[in-house]
């Protein structure tokens, strides 16, 4: 069977036991990615890229899926997406205030996660646990809840002096997990690092979530496959973690990086 279409990032859901299930939209089809585990796949880039915002064809993708113009103007590509502390929506300043009211002026969580090492991050309340799964976290716990993205970003910014706000993709996809991390202890430590003004946002939600990814074998020395340089990738799918497909031969493919690319996937 061959599926063709412009891709977005994979959809992901976790059941009550934390087992993660992935789907991928390919044109009018929805692929059950878990069902492809253990199969020989061929993924090909068909030479067309479409902007995730305006939908127009673009010769190059910017910021994971935008054409050059939309990267500069689209609300989905505003700088506060990557740097929440810079959000100005609470001041009435945004590329699109209607978008900002739905995405920035909503409850946000500051959280701690184990993605190989301890990290701190920010996400909208409505994106839990999707954000944690997208980052390949094996466990995560809320720390603070804030009324908007800006305040959450300021808290993250302060904590990033003590806790990384980055994910090491190699550790994540190879499952090189620091098993000594106790997220509940780290939560208490992080709360103590906050200023009194920020400490008032520490939430009562201390639900620790664990996630189990559909992986038969992890790569020992992962190598990222670049579809721009090598348009075809074939091999056995051994696992899915975060937004990465894990293939035999230690090869991995970050599907989110190729948002808007027109691909074909054959099994």
pLDDT in 10s for each residue of the chain, 267 residues = 899 999 999 999 999 999 999 999 987 889 999 999 999 999 999 999 999 999 999 999 999 999 999 999 999 999 999 999 999 999 999 999 999 999 999 999 999 999 999 999 999 999 999 999 999 999 999 999 999 999 999 999 999 999 999 999 999 999 999 999 999 999 999 999 999 999 999 999 899 999 999 999 999 999 999 999 999 999 999 999 999 999 999 999 999 999 999 999 998
Sequential DSSP letters for 232-266? EEEEEEEEEETTEEEEGGGEEEEGGGGTTEEEEEE
What residues have CB less than 8 Å from 202, skipping those under 6 apart? Answer: 143, 144, 191, 194
H or E element that contains 113: strand 108-114
pLDDT of residue 39: 97
pLDDT of residue 115: 97
pLDDT of residue 32: 97
| Region class of 147: left (phi > 0), else alpha (psi between -120 and 50), else beta | alpha
pLDDT of residue 245: 98
pLDDT of residue 28: 82
Beta strand 108-114 pairing with 118-124: antiparallel
Q: What is the edge-to-edge ordering of all strands in the sheet holding 20-26?
A: 11-14, 20-26, 29-32
145: three-class secondary structure by DSSP: strand
**Distance, first Cα to last Cα, the chain:** 6
Per the structure block, which two tokens stand in for 259? 């948002």
């Amino acid at each position: 069977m061959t599926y063709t279409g412009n891709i977005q990032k994979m959809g992901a859901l976790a059941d009550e036991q934390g087992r993660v299930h992935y789907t991928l939209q390919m044109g009018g089809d929805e692929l059950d990615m878990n069902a492809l585990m253990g199969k020989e796949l061929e993924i090909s880039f068909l030479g067309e890229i479409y902007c995730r915002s305006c939908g127009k064809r673009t010769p190059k993708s910017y910021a994971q899926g935008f054409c050059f113009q939309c990267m500069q103007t689209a609300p989905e590509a505003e700088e506060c997406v990557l740097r929440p502390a810079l959000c100005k929506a609470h001041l009435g300043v945004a590329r699109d205030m209607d978008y900002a009211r739905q995405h920035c002026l909503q409850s946000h969580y500051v959280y701690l996660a184990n993605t190989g090492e301890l990290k701190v991050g920010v996400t909208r309340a409505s994106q839990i646990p999707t954000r944690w799964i997208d980052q390949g976290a094996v466990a995560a716990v809320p720390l603070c809840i804030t009324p908007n993205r800006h305040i959450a970003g300021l808290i993250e910014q302060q904590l990033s002096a003590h806790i990384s706000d980055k994910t090491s993709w190699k550790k994540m996809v190879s499952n090189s997990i620091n098993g000594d991390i106790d997220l509940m202890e780290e939560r208490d430590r992080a709360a103590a690092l906050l200023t009194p003004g920020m400490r008032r946002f520490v939430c009562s939600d201390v639900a620790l979530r664990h996630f189990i990814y559909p992986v038969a074998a992890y790569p020992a020395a992962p190598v990222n496959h670049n579809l721009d340089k090598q348009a075809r990738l074939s091999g056995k799918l051994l696992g899915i973690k975060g937004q990465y497909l894990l293939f035999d031969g230690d090869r991995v493919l970050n599907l989110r990086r190729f948002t808007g690319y027109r691909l074909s996937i054959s099994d």
